[in-house]
Amino acid sequence: MPKPAPLSSSGARPNLDHWDERVDLAAALRWTARLNMHEAVANHFSLAVSEDGSEFLINPAARHFARIRASQLLHLNAHDKSALDRPDAPDPTAWGLHGSIHRLVPHARCVMHVHSVHATVLASLADSRLLPVDQNTAMFFNRYVVDESYGGMAFESEGTRCAGMLADPKIKAMIMGNHGVLVIGQSVAETFNRLYYFERAAETYVRALQTGRQLRILSDEIAEKTAREWEDYPDQSGAHLSELKAILDDEGSDYAS
């Protein structure tokens, strides 16, 4: 059975659907802020909660990741053209990017987009490929796409264009040239773990480039083998998020309220 929602500060339990999913998404948002991978109030995480993927949860507009609570997440339908007319309307770029992906890419159950420093540095290079130079960078071998056609802020037409680049289920990350990074997955835990490792991988790669020395690049065979081993690894992503929630709980965080 689902766990009951915790008491809010007023003593009432939030009467909201998809509570466990809300709690996971709020925890991921909080931890992303702690890692300084967010940008002001500009970035967004979303999670599909319907079978066809069109209904989704997303963080509200103009709220800092460090203050998001589970009960504050918006529940939207990607086919509802009146979403931007709601009193609590989502950020228009969040609607454009995440709404388009949830409408057009049903296998993208969870979508996380940030302008984290090292991923954005990589996205700013003329050659934005992430070469497999270590175990973490190899996780993404043959599993990302580079968007080389940045067209401005991610309003609906730009979001639709980006969604079209995620049609192949093998693609788990988009290096958004001149913009940042977007990762997708089947759950909050899987997607957050992937986002975390992408930023770590980008940092390693960028720092290796900064040395100006020749890179030790893995062979395609070993890079692909390593990527598959990451995919087959026992539930690391679930354990990762579970531990982060335990830390937040120990600190008395209100993310799950």
State pLDDT tens for residues 180-203: 999 999 999 999 999 999 999 999
Where are the domains positioned within the chain?
19-250
| DSSP string of 209-239, one letter each residue | HHT-SPP-PPPHHHHHHHHHHHHHSSSHHHH
Which H or E element spans position 149? none
State pLDDT tens for residues 15-24: 699 999 999 9
Structure-model confidence comparison of residues 1 and 221, the more confident one: 221
| DSSP string of 6-31, one letter each residue | PP-TTSPPP--SSHHHHHHHHHHHHH
Task: State the Cα–Cα distance between residues 14 and 234, nearest whole angstrom.
Answer: 34
Predicted pLDDT at 14: 62
Q: Is the model's pLDDT at 154 over the cut of 80? A: no
Query: Rounded to an integer, what is the distance from CA 103 to the centroid of its chain?
Result: 17
State pLDDT tens for residues 62-97: 999 999 999 999 999 999 989 999 999 999 999 999
Q: What's the whole-model pTM score?
A: 0.93
What SS3 state is found at 170? Answer: coil
Of the chain, the percentage scoring pLDDT greater than 90 comes to 89
CATH 3.30.160.20 fits 19-250, yes or no: no
Q: How confident is the model at residue 152 (pLDDT cuts 50, 70, 90)?
A: confident
Predicted pLDDT at 235: 86
Predicted pLDDT at 11: 40
